[in-house]
Structure 1
Amino acid sequence: MNQSSNNLTQVSDHYTSGAYWLEHQNSDSTYKVRLLESLLEKSQLSLSSTLKAAEIGCGQGAFLFPFANYLENQKIQCKLLGYDISSQAILLAKEKNKHSEDTLSFFIGSAENIPDGLDFIFCMDVLEHVENPWELLRSLSSKSKYLILHLPIEQSIGHMLMQSPSHSYKTFRHIHFYSWETAKILFQESPFKLLNYQFTAASNVSLKIAASPMIRLLRLIRYFAYKFNPHLATMLGGGAVLLLLENK
C-alpha cells in the first residue's frame, strides 16, 4: 500500500474506529437548522408539507434530530434518512432516536445507498473529508433537486498564519481546504448550480451559540466584519458557509 492509500485509510479509520464518536456523541447542530431556516427564507423557498430528505455523513444525528423537531413544530410531515459510513455513529443515532422510523431512520451507507426522488439532500461538513468531492456531487445529483451544503472556509490568511489546516487534519481529518473562490469553482464544475448562500458568521445565529466571553467577543467582531464586507472577511478570517444548490 502506498503512502497516499495509507493516508486515505487513516482518514476513514478516524471516523470508523469508534473513538471519535465516543468523544462527540453529545454534539448538537441546532444552530445549522436555524441557519437553514434563514437561508430558505432568504431564497423564498418553502419546504414541502410532505418532505422527503436525506443526510449524507449524518454522524450520530447532530443535525437530523433538531431538524426533525423543527419540522414537527412546523406541522410538516417528513421522511428523513441519515447515512454514515461509521457503524458506531449509526448505533449512537439509533439509540438516541425518539422519532418513529417512518419519520427518521438511520443507515450504515454512503452516497450510492441514498434513494432517488428526494426533495433535499443535506451534506453538512462532509466535502472536506472525501477523496473526490466532484465524484460525490455527481453521485448525489440524480437523487434530489436541491442540495444543502455546510462547508468550512479554511483557506484564509488567518487560518494559514495559525496553521489551522494542520489542526483540522489532526482533529477532523480534513483533506481539502477551501477558500470562497475555490468553493465556487467546485460548484461551477459540478452538476449543481449555486442558488444562494449564507455565511455563518454573518448570521445572528452565530452570536447565540454558547461560548466563553472571549469567543463571543471574537464572534461579534467577525459578525460586523462579515456585515461590512463578507468577501474580504472570508479572505482574512475564513469561517463557514451554508449553500443552497439546485440540480442543473
Structure 2
Amino acid sequence: MTAKYSIGVEKYTDGEYAHYSPSWHREDSIWKVKQIGKLLDKTQLESLFPNARTLKVIDIGCGAGGVLGNFTHYLSTLNCQVDATGIEPSPGALEIARKDWPDLQLKQLNLLDVQEHFDIGLMIDVVEHVENPWQFVREAASRCSLLIFHIPLDDSLLTELASLYHYKAQTMGHIHFFTRQKALWFLDSCGLNVLGHRFTQSFNVPSSLEISSKHKLLALPRRVLASVSPSACSRLLGGMSLMVVAQVKK
C-alpha cells in the first residue's frame, strides 16, 4: 500500500493495525499458500513460464512475510528456482518478517518505487485496504506477468444487517467490500484476465480462534452452508474469500 492509494496509511505504520492484529496474521500464512496451490500447480506454472529458469516473485504488502516465505517454499517443492522480494509500509511488520525469514529480500517501499519486472505478484488480502484499488492493481499489473489475489468477500447480508462496515474498517482496515461477482468485475475493469478462481473458507483460518465469541458461534452454520453452497455462504453469512489467478489481457 502507498500513501497515494491508501486511506490512513498511518494505520499500518503507527501501530494501530498491529494493536488489533499483533501477529499480522502470520499464523494463517501456510493455509493461504495451500489455497494458492489449489489454483497454481507445476503444470500450470510450466505452461505460463515455459522458459523461466528462475521465477521472480514479489509480495506487495507482505506484512510479516509468512505468505511470501511459504510460497517460496511451495515453489521450491515444484523444483522452481525463486528470487523473492517483499515490500511493506509497516516497519513493525518488516521487523517480524526479517526475524522469521532472514533469507528473503524485504523492503520498506511503496509500489511506485519498484522499478523491476516480476513473473508473479502476490496481492494477498491487500486490495480491500487501498483507497484507489483500480490504480493500485494497474500499477502492479504493469510490473508483474501474473497476479495472485486473495480478496475477502465482506459484502454479505450479515454485514449489512449487523452494520459491520465501520467495525471492519476500524479493526481490519477494510474500506472496500466485495462479493464474488464484484471482485471478478473489479479485476476485469483493471484490465486483467482471470485464469482461475475459487472460494476459500476464511472463517476456518487459525487466527479465527482469536476472534469474538459471536464470530465463533457463526463458524458452524458457515461451515454447513459453505459445504453445500460456498456462494450462498459468502452472500448470506460471510466469512468467505476469493483466491484468484489473473494476468494482463492480451
User: How much has 1:66 moved relative to structure 2?
Assistant: 1.9
1:173 is matched with 173
2:96 is matched with 92
CA distance in structure 2 between the aligned counterparts of 1:136 and 1:110, rounded to whole angstroms: 10
CA distance in structure 1 between the aligned counterparts of 2:89 and 2:109, rounded to whole angstroms: 5
1:70 is matched with 74
Per-residue CA distance 1:1-53 (angstroms, 9 max, x = gap): xxxx9xx66x2111101353472257221100100001114x95226662211
1:245 is matched with 246
Give the SS at the match of 1:63: helix
1:14 is matched with 11
Query: Given that residues 17 and 171 in structure 2 are in contact (C-alpha distance below 8 angstroms), is that contact kept between their aligned partners in structure 1?
Result: no
1:230 is matched with 230
Stretches of structure 1 lacking an aligned partner (at least 5 in a row): none
Give the SS at the match of 2:139: helix
Alpha carbons of 1:196 and 1:227: their partners in 2 closer, same or farther (altered >3 Å)?
Answer: farther
Structure 1 outlier segments of 4+, above 6 Å: 214-217
CA distance in structure 2 between the aligned counterparts of 1:26 and 1:221, rounded to whole angstroms: 24
Alpha carbons of 1:166 and 1:26: their partners in 2 closer, same or farther (altered >3 Å)?
Answer: closer
Query: Given that residues 201 and 219 in structure 1 are in contact (C-alpha distance below 8 angstroms), is that contact kept between their aligned partners in structure 2?
Result: no
User: How much has 1:70 moved relative to structure 2?
Assistant: 2.6
What letter matches 2:72 in structure 1? Answer: A
Per-residue CA distance 1:72-131 (angstroms, 9 max, x = gap): 4444221110001122222322232232xxxx2100112223344311100011111111
Query: Given that residues 127 and 133 in structure 2 are in contact (C-alpha distance below 8 angstroms), is that contact kept between their aligned partners in structure 1?
Result: yes
Give the SS at the match of 1:34: helix
2:57 is matched with 53
Alpha carbons of 1:26 and 1:185: their partners in 2 closer, same or farther (altered >3 Å)?
Answer: closer
Alpha carbons of 1:193 and 1:58: their partners in 2 closer, same or farther (altered >3 Å)?
Answer: same
1:112 is matched with 112
Query: Given that residues 122 and 147 in structure 2 are in contact (C-alpha distance below 8 angstroms), is that contact kept between their aligned partners in structure 1?
Result: yes
Question: How large is the RMSD of aligned CA atoms in angstroms?
Answer: 2.8
